Structure 1
């Protein structure tokens, strides 16, 4: 049986398994209540759409449910803001988040890092990119930086690392361009939304990233052929699995063992799990991590805050320096907290 057939069979089996788990939860929950059933609520941020994201995660979450012996439900969010709000309201117990969302969840929302997407030196880097139309009237980086007010921008949420933070920190602010105010107009949405906006002529330039642009090529090959990359960032900080910090330490470690072991080893089950990981753009699986894994994201946030302060208008230089000192102090405090919190990774 080829890999595609294995993946299809596993996806179908996973959907039935998770459906059974959810049905069991609905019946048992009506009698026993939330506390006794103790389901695990997994947060998903749709990359392309709600249905696609749910289907991609279904077999993984069915395996997770079996491994921990409790039902798993899915909370799908339409935006970074709604996902962050759900975490704030304690409506999500476990989630895979982009670096900035994970940093906010750990620093402000009482979450801990458990694991992160595994990479190695031979794998393609995950980088932020800028997309323009190949045949568009505006399709060079030089013109973009020289005349941003003539360009229509499609970008990600302010908490999106590749959709906003990296382009702002590494390209626009160093050229004294503030993304929120310098462009002719802007569209804010998912990576799929921004790519489609440029491909269909509704925007001139879009922020995106290498991973999601490759996914876009597979789903919208005609539209993707209209686009080209004119800028790439440095590699982005990695996505992190985070869990509620008030969960028992043993449960947090059990979840980490599941994540790290998923798709590892030999046999039909491991092979099927590796096919699932490919659909989740984590072909190598996940590696154990703790809150210190967010230090690169904290550094990026610090650089954004400093550059924003340097580019802002101030009543005098003393006010600017006072703001910079507060930023430095807050960063030092955040670094210390990340180093001292969370469930540490057992070292051999």
Structure 2
């Protein structure tokens, strides 16, 4: 039986307004509703972001309400209902919101390591089995998997695309059992013996080692992916360009000042997965994410079972046309 790890959903600050049509401009002075990608626990994510959002509120001159949820799916539903005005999203979710023309990218995060991204990882216990990648790939049906949701770039998409499918392994069906949850939850599952192998990523595992040092000591990385671009900040397209530029300017300047204010902002950024800050970005920053999603869809079509070859080719053609349309949307950076 498949077990889904979920944390209690936190709807924070009680400032949320009723959903508005995507085409309607939000009322002036109304709370800006900020959705947070669930990288750790919902309450933990809320607490990490609140100082930065309080500073943003002062700059924007209007309240900023926090929506911290327990799953990618919950955040996606909130975005679809237009209950989110701004959000911190990783590649696939940001890609979906921009492709559907609900939101536009204004900034991308940066980290102190200076790399333009992070890497998906595969974790096992140091004392196994399994303790090697070969053991996992040779007999996946023997092991219990802890992975991210299907929308998670490092928790599902990249490991599936770069590791498992090339070895004729579908993550959802080939393992003995699976646990689905946040990166923190999947790492804990392996550390506590509830799973044998987990998908994760370098940025979140670094944070995990600080928060759960004893559990982290039991784990090791047996595989790493290619670099994955960092997450984005997106804003609902209904907001005027002047507002979007104001948000972008605030984010780009955050943590770069001198004196006590700058020091305080840098402390806040460090608590946000050790971020160095933000750089200005537009929808084109999602082109690498679109390429990953396209490659995964194509790989699934090529390796999947079909009633006939014509059906497979029809699916491949839809993937190609959908990708071309998506690229066109992303290259049109104007909101």
TM over 0.5: yes
| CA-CA distance at 1:119 after TM superposition | 5.0
Is the 1:118–1:282 Cα contact (8 Å) retained in structure 2?
no
Render the CA deviation track for 1:39-77: whole Å, top value 9, x for unaligned.
111112333222221211111011000000001111111
In the TM superposition, 1:157-196 aligns within 5 A as 157-196=149-188
2:324 matches 1:336: no
Residue in 1 aligned with 2:54? 62
Aligned length: 315
CA gap of 1:192–1:336, structure 2 versus 1, over 3 A, is same
Is the 2:204–2:273 Cα contact (8 Å) retained in structure 1?
no
Q: Point out where structure 1 has 5 or more consecutive residues left out of the alignment.
A: 1-18, 27-33, 344-348
Is the 1:46–1:52 Cα contact (8 Å) retained in structure 2?
no
Residue in 2 aligned with 1:13? none
Residue in 1 aligned with 2:122? 130
| CA-CA distance at 1:260 after TM superposition | 0.7
Residue in 1 aligned with 2:301? 309
CA gap of 1:90–1:122, structure 2 versus 1, over 3 A, is closer
CA gap of 1:214–1:137, structure 2 versus 1, over 3 A, is same
Is the 1:260–1:287 Cα contact (8 Å) retained in structure 2?
yes
Residue in 2 aligned with 1:253? 245
In the TM superposition, 1:1-348 aligns within 5 A as 35=27, 37-108=29-100, 110-118=102-110, 122-123=114-115, 125-343=117-335
Q: State the secondary structure of the residue aligned to 1:285.
A: strand
More strand by share: 2
Residue in 1 aligned with 2:7? none
Q: State the secondary structure of the residue aligned to 1:138.
A: coil
Q: State the secondary structure of the residue aligned to 2:193.
A: coil
Larger Rg: 1
With structure 2 as the length reference, what TM-score do the two structures score? 0.90
CA gap of 1:118–1:181, structure 2 versus 1, over 3 A, is same
Residue in 2 aligned with 1:4? none
| CA-CA distance at 1:284 after TM superposition | 2.2
CA gap of 1:67–1:313, structure 2 versus 1, over 3 A, is same
More helix by share: 1
Q: CA RMSD, aligned part only? A: 1.9
Distance 1:188 1:245 in 2: 32
Render the CA deviation track for 1:153-175: whole Å, top value 9, x for unaligned.
00000000000000000000111
Distance 1:306 1:124 in 2: 26
Is the 2:116–2:230 Cα contact (8 Å) retained in structure 1?
no
CA gap of 1:47–1:96, structure 2 versus 1, over 3 A, is same
Is the 2:123–2:198 Cα contact (8 Å) retained in structure 1?
yes
Render the CA deviation track for 1:157-204: whole Å, top value 9, x for unaligned.
000000000000000011111111111100000011100111111111
Distance 1:233 1:139 in 2: 18
Q: Point out where structure 2 has 5 or more consecutive residues left out of the alignment.
A: 1-11, 17-25
| CA-CA distance at 1:263 after TM superposition | 0.9
Residue range with higher mean Cα deviation, 312-321 or 186-195: 312-321
CA gap of 1:132–1:121, structure 2 versus 1, over 3 A, is closer
Distance 1:315 1:42 in 2: 45
| CA-CA distance at 1:318 after TM superposition | 2.5
CA gap of 1:246–1:125, structure 2 versus 1, over 3 A, is closer
Q: State the secondary structure of the residue aligned to 1:277.
A: helix
Distance 1:308 1:51 in 2: 36
Distance 1:264 1:122 in 2: 15
Q: State the secondary structure of the residue aligned to 2:276.
A: coil
